[in-house]
C-alpha cells in the first residue's frame, strides 16, 4: 500500500511539474511595434471641378496602410463628430485633406474669335492635363496644434480632374511617416 502512496505522490508531483516546465520553456513574444492609427476625415473639394472625395479618401487609406501606420476612414462633419468617431475607432491622429486647386493646363491653339476682350472665358482647343494642389493636415487626437500642414502640388497631371487628384495622394505617406519620425 505504501508503494501505491509513493507512486501516487510521485505522479502528482510529475503532473504538477510538467505544465510549469512547459510554461518556462515558452519564449516570451517580442513586443510588436505599435502602428500609428490614423483616422481620415472626409476629403473636401474646394474647387469647381468634378472630384469624388470618397474615392480620394479610399486612396489615401490605401497609401497609409503600411508596417508603421494603419488607417480608418472617419465619418462626421464637425471636428467634435470626427474626434468622437476617431476615439471609437481607436485612432491616434486625424488627417484632413482638401483639394484646394484644380485646373486644366491648356496646350493648344486658340479658336477663332477667342482673343476678343468681351469673352470672359476664351474657348481653347485643349489637349492639356489637369494639375492641382492638395492641402493635408494631421493632428494628434485631442490637440489643436497640427503635426504638419502642407500643400502638395501635382508634378504630373491627369487626364481628368479625378486622375490629377488621385496622383496628389501618393505623396501623403511620405508626409505622415516624416511627421511620425519614421525613416
Give how far the C-alpha of residue 112 lies from the chain's centroid of Cα atoms, to the nearest Å. Answer: 47
Question: Cell for 79?
Answer: 471636428
Q: Does the structure show a pLDDT above 50 at 31? A: no
The confidence band for 35, taking pLDDT boundaries of 50, 70 and 90, is confident
Query: What global pTM score does this model have?
Result: 0.71
Superfamily of domain 33-107+127-180: ABC-type transport auxiliary lipoprotein component (3.40.50.10610)
pLDDT higher at 85 or 27: 85
Listed by start position, the domains of the chain span 33-107+127-180
Residue 77 dihedral angles phi and psi, to the nearest 5°: -105, -45
Closest CA to 100 of 129, 73, 136: 136
Q: Is 49 exposed, middle or buried (0-12, 13-18, 19+ CB in 10 A)?
A: middle
Amino acid at each position: 500500500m505504501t508503494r501505491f502512496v509513493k507512486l501516487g505522490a510521485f505522479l502528482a508531483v510529475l503532473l504538477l511539474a510538467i505544465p510549469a516546465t512547459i510554461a518556462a520553456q515558452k519564449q516570451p513574444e517580442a513586443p510588436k511595434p505599435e502602428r500609428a492609427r490614423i483616422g481620415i476625415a472626409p476629403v473636401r473639394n474646394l474647387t469647381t471641378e468634378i472630384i469624388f472625395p470618397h474615392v480620394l479618401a479610399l486612396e489615401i487609406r490605401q497609401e497609409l496602410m503600411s508596417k508603421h501606420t494603419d488607417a480608418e476612414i472617419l465619418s462626421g462633419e464637425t471636428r467634435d463628430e470626427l474626434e468622437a468617431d476617431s476615439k471609437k475607432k481607436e485612432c491616434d491622429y486625424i488627417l484632413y485633406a482638401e483639394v484646394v486647386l484644380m485646373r486644366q493646363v491648356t496646350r493648344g491653339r486658340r479658336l477663332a474669335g477667342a482673343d476678343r476682350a468681351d469673352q470672359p472665358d476664351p474657348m481653347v482647343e485643349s489637349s492639356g492635363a489637369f494639375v492641382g494642389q492638395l492641402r493635408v493636415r494631421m493632428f494628434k487626437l485631442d490637440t489643436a496644434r497640427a503635426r504638419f500642414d502642407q500643400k502638395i502640388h501635382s508634378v504630373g497631371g491627369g487626364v481628368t480632374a479625378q486622375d490629377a487628384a488621385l496622383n496628389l495622394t501618393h505623396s501623403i505617406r511620405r508626409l505622415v511617416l516624416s511627421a511620425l519620425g519614421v525613416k
